[in-house]
């Protein structure tokens, strides 16, 4: 397994776990009666962002130490796979950004706007990682 594929797996797994932890935390704190938008979300969201970044970096460093020959080595195929994954992930990021802008124009509560932005980031990251893994596994057609 190439270093690029390992990194894609790490990113997908950490992003999924941290986002599910964020959702669990927010839903557990939700008021029994009243709107969900009154749930405190800022602290858990910031913790999720930091947790994702630290988790991905720490696991990537661990994988680099475990197999130093592969660390940072990328060929033309790796670059194309990364580019394709990022390209497709940006579609979801743009969609999430537009959705958040629409919510802001409609003056919807900040809770929903922030969560749409975060969900867009998560979906973008997961799409990018899944496309990369699929390309490495040759599930996708050749470029």
Report the percentage of the chain scoring pLDDT > 90.
Answer: 63
Per-residue model confidence (pLDDT) at position 54:
97
pLDDT at 21: 97
Tell me the CA distances in angstroms from 17 to 9, 48, 49, 57, 102, one per residue in order. 12, 10, 12, 15, 28
* pLDDT in the model for residue 139: 67
In tens, the pLDDT along 48-92 reads: 999 999 999 999 999 988 887 777 667 788 888 888 889 889 999
Q: Which of 23-27, 81-85, 100-104 has the lowest mean pLDDT?
A: 81-85
pLDDT averaged over the chain? 90
Query: What local confidence, expressed as pLDDT, does residue 95 receive?
Result: 93
């Amino acid at each position: 397994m190439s270093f690029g594929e390992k990194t894609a797996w790490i990113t997908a797994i950490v992003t999924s776990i941290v986002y599910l932890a964020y959702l669990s935390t927010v839903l557990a704190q939700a008021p029994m009666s009243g709107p969900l938008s009154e749930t405190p979300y800022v602290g858990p969201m910031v913790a999720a962002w930091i947790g994702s970044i630290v988790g991905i970096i720490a696991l990537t460093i661990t994988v680099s130490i475990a197999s130093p020959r592969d660390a940072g080595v990328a060929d033309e195929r790796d670059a194309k796979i990364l580019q394709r994954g990022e390209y497709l992930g940006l579609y979801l990021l743009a969609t999430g950004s537009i959705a958040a802008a629409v919510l802001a124009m409609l003056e919807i509560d900040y809770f929903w706007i922030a969560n749409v932005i975060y969900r867009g980031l998560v979906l973008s990251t997961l799409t990018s990682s899944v496309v990369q893994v699929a390309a490495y596994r040759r599930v996708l057609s050749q470029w």
